[in-house]
A = this chain, B = another copy of it.
Amino acid sequence: MEIREKIILGVDPGFHITGFAIVKMGSGRTSLCDWGLLKMRTTDTLVERVGQFHAFFAEKIRQNGITHLALETSFLGKNAQTFLKLGYLRGILYLLANTHALDLAEFAPMQIKATVTGHGGASKEQVAALLFRYFPALNNAPAVQRLDMTDALAIALCGAWHKKTPLSLIK
């Protein structure tokens, strides 16, 4: 039986800045294939931005032969309407998981930090510093964008390394 290669897209969605990272699980190693930011103009309508978000990730999924999609579980913050709108982008990612038959998994923030650093109480900066050590290619990124990208990379790595029932199988 051939085992399907695992190519994981991790996404940290937002209507202004979305971080993403793509990692490949090979035999005994995890390699970083692609990473970056999708920036959308706040002068564009929400309808336009939902369309841009869908087109961007549909293309990334096709180009890279993505098999797994990893997301961070969202929790309600101060603004309920912002939280609801974040759901729009998550819905687009669920649709892409359906269209391209991806395994979709969600992880809690503490679980992600624990998986990539060994302790769930690590700060964003500690996660970033460690990931820059393991994936030196990240140093090519402008400093200002690093935390958005390391968040997405941490999510993708959690998708790569974690054993759990994918959310796409959960009712």
- Chain A interface residues (CB < 8 Å from chain B): 42-48, 50-51, 54, 74-76, 80, 83-92, 94-95, 97-99, 104, 167-171
Contacts and interface: CB of A to CB of B under 8 A. Distances in A.
A47 B92 contact: no
8 pairs of A and B residues whose beta carbons are closest in the complex: A87-B87, A88-B91, A91-B91, A51-B98, A76-B80, A50-B94, A47-B168, A84-B87
A98 B87 CA distance: 17
Given A84-B86, A87-B87, A90-B87, A97 B47 contact: yes
Contact of A83 (B43, B83, B88, B168): B83
Contacts of A44: 171
Given A167-B46, A170-B45, A80 B90 contact: no
Contacts of A97: 47
